[in-house]
Amino acid sequence: MKTINTYFISNILGFVLIVESFLMLASAIIGEFYRESVTSTIYISVAITFAFGMILRFISFGKKGKAITKREGFLTVTLVWILLTVFGLLPYYLSGAISHLPDAFFETMCGFTTTGSSVILNLEGFPKSLLFWRSLTQWVGGIGIVVFVMAFLPLFGGSAIQLFDAEVTGFMQNQITPRISKIAKLISATYLGFTIVGFLLLWAGPMNAFDAICHTLTSISTGGFSTKQTSVAFFNSAYVEYIMALLMFVGGTNFILLYLLFKKRSFQIFRDEEFRWYFFIVSIFTVFMATTLLLTGKMTGIEYTFRTVLFQVISNITTSGFAVYDYLQWGQFYWFLFLALMIFCACEGSTSGGVKISRLVVLVKNTFVEFKRQVHPNAVLPVKMNKSVVPTHVVSKILAFMFLYVLLIFFSFLVLSLTGMTFDEAIGASITAISNVGPGLGSNGPAGNFANLTDFAKIYMSSLMLIGRLEIFTVLSLFIPSFWK
């Protein structure tokens, strides 16, 4: 077996845990403000996390080891998400707010993978400091803690490209300059900027400052955690719904293109083929569903219907999972439409999960090209994206990705069915977990949650969330024998 640079991995993991401890400290400050009794256990969680981070940094102090490869990148990114979850559950578990360990693990994994699923039955009675921590985990997971690490990676003497390959896949890599650490800083700055603007806009409405910051963190990250049990429907505000829909839509857009638009005054975003598809899909689904719901009498009021459908379409396609209406009441035809949105989702380089629209575009174009090849077998007919030829190996990888994606959904459906889930619950849970959406079908829909799952189902779904968040290949590569040879 080839030697793995454990010093590099230890250094990165230690740094991440130290960052996480300071993020926990922010939630402790919220606890101090509201004078909550759980604040002392948050400080304990901070101390434990910081101590483990320092130990890992100490182990690797002054040691570089061999040059890192993609193997270290895949392993590091996977371990980052696992350690974030293991230590991130401490505030919940030690405080007793979520006393069952599998529940605490599930809730935390939902946070860092920006999956809006939850096992909490009374959010209004949950400590505000932990509600803030819950929202903050999604904000961190949305942009990816690895992106933050890449911004500081030169301090470690490491190569950012390997972590970048493991964390960000697809066409985004072809749209940016080679200086990965600089790109990470630009993305982070853009992300922070939209977060600040979103907070001010929501605070200007009927939300108080606490609800505004929590919902901003989980909207721009397309996470879906709310401070209310009935989600955004609690506020019953058209203003809130439009602002949050806008934030989710922005979160589902390529952040590099957003940076170029607002900082460089570049209109490349409007020429980007993926963004145009994204906008087109949201528009078509919204108009079609709103029209059919009005014509069939399932909804009344043009503006209310349009707003409700627009919010739910954006929430599902961006994998946010917020709800202003229990759309399962509309019937199974609409279930299918929402499941389709959950699968393909938003853009590369965004906080969204799922397959990504760029892959959908390539699959559609490749299908038409195959038809042309049947008629003209000797013709050279490449697949193009944004007027550039998509390399054959990229098309091949997308096809492999889709095969694994569908296979995992089918396999997970069988596994979850064995835990007592009904057909619709199992298929909904499989898709919502691997796409990092949140609501499923049946009792796990937008009006319910996942508290009724068995411990095995919660752990399995947590694993599926991680696989989906890191786009399948990163995690599954670790289980291939040749990876370790």
Query: What is the band of 186 on the pLDDT scale with cuts at 50, 70, 90?
Result: confident
Q: DSSP assignment of 185-247, as one string?
A: HHHHHHHHHHHHHHHHHHHTTTS-HHHHHHHHHHHHTT----SSTTGGGGG--HHHHHHHHHH
Of the listed ranges 16-25, 100-109, 155-164, 361-370, the least confidently predicted one is 155-164
In tens, the pLDDT along 376-430 reads 888 888 899 888 898 888 899 999 999 999 999 999 999 999 999 999 999 999 9
Helix (H, G, I), strand (E, B) or coil at 104: helix
Distances (CA, A) of 40 to 47, 290, 328: 11, 49, 41
pTM of the predicted model, to two decimals? 0.92
Q: How many beta carbons lie within 10 A of that of residue 400, not counting itself? A: 12
Mean pLDDT of all residues in 9-30: 94
Of the listed ranges 46-60, 98-112, 341-355, 393-407, the least confidently predicted one is 341-355
Query: What is the band of 152 on the pLDDT scale with cuts at 50, 70, 90?
Result: low
The answer to whether residue 347 scores a pLDDT higher than 80 is yes
- Phi then psi for residue 49, to 5 deg, are -65, -45
Query: What is the band of 171 on the pLDDT scale with cuts at 50, 70, 90?
Result: very low
Work out the mean pLDDT of the chain and round it to a whole number: 89
Q: How many beta carbons lie within 10 A of that of residue 233, not counting itself? A: 20
- Return the pLDDT at 179: 65
Report which of residues 288 and 8 the model is more confident about. Answer: 288
Q: Let me know if 27 is exposed, middle or buried by CB neighbors in 10 A (0-12, 13-18, 19+).
A: buried
Distance (Å, whole) CA 345 – CA 318: 5
State percent of the chain over pLDDT 90.
68
Helix (H, G, I), strand (E, B) or coil at 452: coil
Report which of residues 485 and 99 the model is more confident about. Answer: 99
By the 8 A CB rule, do 193 and 185 touch? no
Distance (Å, whole) CA 359 – CA 255: 17
Distance (Å, whole) CA 59 – CA 182: 28
Query: What is the band of 136 on the pLDDT scale with cuts at 50, 70, 90?
Result: very high
Q: How many beta carbons lie within 10 A of that of residue 122, not counting itself? A: 7
